[in-house]
Amino acid sequence: MSDHEFGNVSTDLKLSLVEAYLSAFTIALRSQFSDLWYIDAFAGTGERVIKHKAIEAGLFPGTEELIERRRGSAKIALDIKPAFDRVVFMEKKKTYCRALEALKTQHPGRQIDIVRGDANDAIEAEIKSVKWAGKRGVMFLDPYGMAVNWSTLEKIRATEAIDVWYLVSLAGLFRQATRDRTKIEEKKRAAITRMLGTDGWERAWYDAPPKIDLFGVVDENVQRIADVEAIETFVEQRLSSLFPKVLKPKRLKNAAGVPMFSLFLAISNPGGKAIGLAARIGNSILKS
Ligand SMILES: C[S@@+](CC[C@H](N)C(=O)[O-])C[C@H]1O[C@@H](n2cnc3c(N)ncnc32)[C@H](O)[C@@H]1O
């Protein structure tokens, strides 16, 4: 079996927030909808493996390496009660899909679909093949980096049926948008634009366009003026331009206190009742 070792201090927090939402979602909607779905587009293996390093004996007795297994999002979703009617796991890695297949066998009688491939392609295919009227779903977008295309978010929005928990990598954006604009590689520029669905980020995050001085010398050394706060706000504004409702995100930090991710909840259903319910549950969780 393939172990999936990932995460930092904020991973448990992230998963507990999503779990709290999934639980409140099925409790609130169970009596109104017969089709409640969960789609985990970056599903992993169902488990998170944490290796605690061995400690050599010194003044105190040493300890051996300890391997701890905690539930990942896939297992968490299958444990939700009342249960989702259908659960879809999407995952690129073959060995992780095998782990998900094994997880499926532990839940006989449940409708669990495992789709191997790129999440953007898998989401598009899934959304196209389904009539969304009368269905409600939650999708979890939990990529390592900047893998979710803006065009994928547009498709999710168009369902008017899916609430999306989206982990946005602030660290990824910060790294790709180098401090000195002349150092941004074309590939990285394209990746940011693909993720945000606009090239407007470059105007917003950098100082004025290159200046020509009195002697006609071009000063192209334009510096990024946007800090993490400004980058997060930009992402929030972009999501709010697409989804009827986007909640204030939860900032997730690493052990050193550096902001790494923002966890967003975006609601695709434009109905006042749906927004009211999702926002009430989501805000109580995000602000907790
Ligand atoms: C942060 S992990 C997800 C962890 C999972 N949510 C959990 O709690 O166990 C990201 C996962 O996405 C998978 N992945 C990476 N790129 C992908 C892509 N383009 N499409 C689908 N899956 C991808 C990785 O193999 C990895 O399992």
pLDDT at position 210, please?
62
| Residue 134 · residue 36 · CB < 8 Å | no
Tens of pLDDT, residues 142-165 = 999 999 999 999 999 999 999 999
Amino acid at 232: E
The alpha carbon of 6 and the centre of ligand 1 are apart by a number of angstroms equal to 10
Tens of pLDDT, residues 48-95 = 988 888 888 887 888 888 888 999 999 999 999 999 999 999 999 999
pLDDT at position 151, please?
98
Which stretch of 77-86, 113-122, 204-213 has the lowest confidence by average pLDDT? 204-213
Q: Which one, of 280, 254, 255, 252, lies nearest residue 264 by Cα?
A: 252
Nearest CA to ligand 1 atom 9: 72
Rg from Cα positions in the chain: 21
Q: Are strands 86-91 and 111-116 parallel, antiparallel or unpaired?
A: parallel
Over 70: is that where the pLDDT of 209 sits? no
Among 19, 71, 79, 92, the mutation site with the greatest number of ligand 1 atoms within 8 A of its Cβ is 92
Tens of pLDDT, residues 18-35 = 999 999 999 999 999 999
Q: What's the CA gap between 128 and 121, in Å, rounded? A: 11
Q: Which one, of 145, 121, 119, 123, lies nearest residue 132 by Cα?
A: 123
The alpha carbon of 61 and the centre of ligand 1 are apart by a number of angstroms equal to 38
Residues 6+ apart with CB under 8 A from 207: 222, 223, 224, 225
The neighbour count for residue 244, using CB atoms within 10 Å, is 17
| Residue 2 · residue 266 · CB < 8 Å | no
Residues with CB under 6 A from ligand 1: 4, 6, 15, 42-44, 48, 72-73, 90-93, 96, 118-119, 142-144, 147
Arithmetic mean of pLDDT over the chain: 93
Cα–Cα–Cα angle for 124, 127, 130, rounded to 5 degrees:
145
Amino acid at 163: D
Banded model confidence at residue 218, pLDDT cuts 50, 70, 90: low
The neighbour count for residue 31, using CB atoms within 10 Å, is 8
Q: What's the CA gap between 270 and 160, in Å, rounded? A: 7
Domains of the chain, each with CATH number or no CATH: 11-49+75-177+226-286 (3.40.50.150)
Report the predicted TM-score, pTM, of the whole model to 2 decimal places: 0.93
